[in-house]
Amino acid sequence: MKSEVFHTPNAAGWNLEIRRFSDPARLDKSRRPIVMIPGYCMNTFILSYHPAGTSMVHYLVEHGFEVWTANLRGQGGSRRIQGPRKYGFRELALVDFPRVRDFVLANTATEAKIFDAVGCSLGATVLFAYLGHNPEQHGIGSLVTVGGPLRWNRVHPLVRALLSSPSLAGSVPVFGTRQLARAVLPALQKAPFLLSLYMNPKLVDLSAADELVKTIDDPSSHLTRQIAHWVRNRDLVVGGLNITHALHPVQTPTMVILANQDGIVPPEAALSVFDHIGSTDNEILRVGTPEVPYAHADMFISKDADKNVFEPMANWLVRHY
């Protein structure tokens, strides 16, 4: 698999890090490129890394896709040059993502004029906001969300407690999150209740904890405050637009992938997009069983993620050309 790194200015004082993954011998140029957006406190590392098997990116590339991963401002290798440090949903969805879109379409090795988008966790919400503001001329052929919330029809009690005060949630700058996670993760293995909000330790090889934490970034306090308001109000408002209502005219085929015991984004929140998006060409992939429950991170790094998540995703994308 070939990996290429690019940096492109977003015209707002940040250089965004974009990576292209492909295998020239396997690439089907008739397919649309895939653009992946990571979530909150997350960068794209975990999309192309798996502790004990094939990553999401590797699987898709092996099956003929060109895959692009994008770190928006504050994520991964994206760097501030002279732009504002403060950012939220509007900046991510209406400034950074359109720049990623334009860069991918200008540089893809495929023959496509549009692309498919995969939103991971809060990355899906960024895509919802982008679509809400661009319901017709958006360039997305098909949309896949992996544990991505639109409307908070249900919130885990612990998440609700942590975000109960928007002013408090967004008032404390947080640094060293990755180092903290590296120190705490081994201890959390002895507290399965807390860890189960995010992953099922029986499904994930945690011996590579030092590698896994590379996907963790420090949170934006302004974005955290916006998330707290969103959880309280249920509907997300970006740039003065209620995104829940704004998705009604969007006709993009959409696949929702959810984990049956996701403590971060409960199934009700992940499925809420289907109550509001205009598309009728939709599919739900529920991962996990009562005997083998899946949590949020398991959709990316569980031992059987290739069979349970990546393969159905690839098959669905192929069916929508």
CATH label of the domain that carries residue 230: 3.40.50.1820
Give the pLDDT means over successive 10-residue stretches in the chain (321 positions): 98 98 98 98 96 97 99 96 93 99 99 99 99 98 99 90 70 59 64 78 85 86 94 97 98 99 96 98 98 97 98 98 88
Domains held by the chain: number: 1
Domain that holds residue 154: 2-319
What pLDDT is stored for residue 287 in this prediction? 98
What pLDDT is stored for residue 259 in this prediction? 98
> Is pTM beyond 0.85 here?
yes
Question: What would the 3-class secondary structure string for the chain be?
Answer: CEEEEEEEECCCCEEEEEEEEECCCCCCCCCCCEEEECCCCECHHHHCCCCCCCCHHHHHHHCCCCEEEEECCCCCCCEECCCCCCCCHHHHHHHHHHHHHHHHHHHCCCCCCCEEEEEECHHHHHHHHHHHHCCCCCCEEEEEEECCCCCCCCCCHHHHHHCCCHHHHCCCCCCCHHHHHHHHHHHHCCCHHHHCCCCCCCCCCHHHHHHHHHHECCCCHHHHHHHHHHHHHCCCEECCEEHHHHCCCCCCCEEEEEECCCCCCCHHHHHHHHHCCCCCCEEEEEECCCCCCCCCCHHHHCCCHHHHHHHHHHHHHHHCC
Neighbouring residues of 38: CB distance < 8 A, sequence distance ≥ 6: 44, 46, 47, 69, 71, 75, 76, 120, 121, 123, 215
What pLDDT is stored for residue 196 in this prediction? 83
Which of 222, 218, 244 shows the shortest CA–CA distance to 149?
244
Structure tokens at 123: 């990355």
Describe the crossing of helices 97-107 and 122-133 by its angle, rounded to 10 degrees: 90
What pLDDT is stored for residue 210 in this prediction? 81
Structure tokens at 148: 């991505």
